[in-house]
Amino acid sequence: MRNRISDINPFTKKGREFLDDLDLQETDRTLLESNLSIIDKINEEIKRIDKIIQEKAKQDNDAILLMTARISYYSALLIRAEIGDINRFANHVSVSYAGLCPSIRQSGDKEIRGHMTKQGSKLLR
């Protein structure tokens, strides 16, 4: 069964082969090749920036430690940047900084724990 064009992902090798095999008029082929060329250039830039991020993460001891939790280079550097110097916290389990602690409402002897407060850095959360 032949693939429908809506089922094709143009960012994969198979998708590119499908696009190459299309019978298009010269103008349409030129536009397609131009757009694919732009996508290729953007992908090259993404790879270049990814290498820079990877090198930065490999040079940062805190990021290296964070990556032991099986997160990406980018995520490790993001967390590192959002937290800053970990020593500024009274204890190293300050999840409230990221808004990951439950909200607490108290009235007399009654205590109601709710959803996460979501205060703090959205990027870090």
Supply the range of the domain harboring residue 29. 5-88
Alpha carbon distance 79, 71 (integer Å): 10
Q: Is residue 100 part of a domain?
A: no
Q: Is residue 98 part of a domain?
A: no
Report if pTM > 0.95.
no
Number of domains present in the structure of the chain:
1
Q: CB neighbours of 78 closer than 8 A, spacing ≥ 6?
A: 123, 124
Q: Is residue 104 part of a domain?
A: no
Confidence of residue 117 (pLDDT cuts 50, 70, 90): low
Confidence of residue 1 (pLDDT cuts 50, 70, 90): very low
